[in-house]
Amino acid sequence: MPREASRITLEIDEIRVKRIWDITTADAKAEGITETQDVDYISPFVGLWNSIYLKQGLDWEANPWVWVVEFHGVEKVQG
């Protein structure tokens, strides 16, 4: 898609690989896990992960390698 036709523009800051078990609280928050009743953000993330990937054989216990892509939004310049 041409950049001028997109509604949002993202700029990639970093790409790396890591094991899913290495996820941090900050990573879980960045993945959309909202505040829980306690300070444990990892357990809800494990549940989310398994709800998406368990049937594909990539459950939490498999500790698969994952891509981590960090990005930020770029404001469009009108013109």
Q: What is the pLDDT of residue 60?
A: 96
Classify residue 50: in a domain, yes or no: yes
Classify residue 79: in a domain, yes or no: no
Q: CA–CA distance from 6 to each of 2, 22, 61, 73, 75 (Å)?
A: 7, 34, 38, 12, 12
Give me the domain span that covers residue 17. 3-74
Query: How far apart (Å, rounded) are the C-alpha atoms in residues 48 and 54?
Result: 10
Count up the domains in the chain and report the number: 1
pLDDT in tens, 20-75: 999 999 999 989 888 766 678 899 999 999 999 999 999 999 999 999 999 999 88
Q: What is the pLDDT of residue 78?
A: 64
pLDDT > 90? residue 18: yes
Classify residue 63: in a domain, yes or no: yes
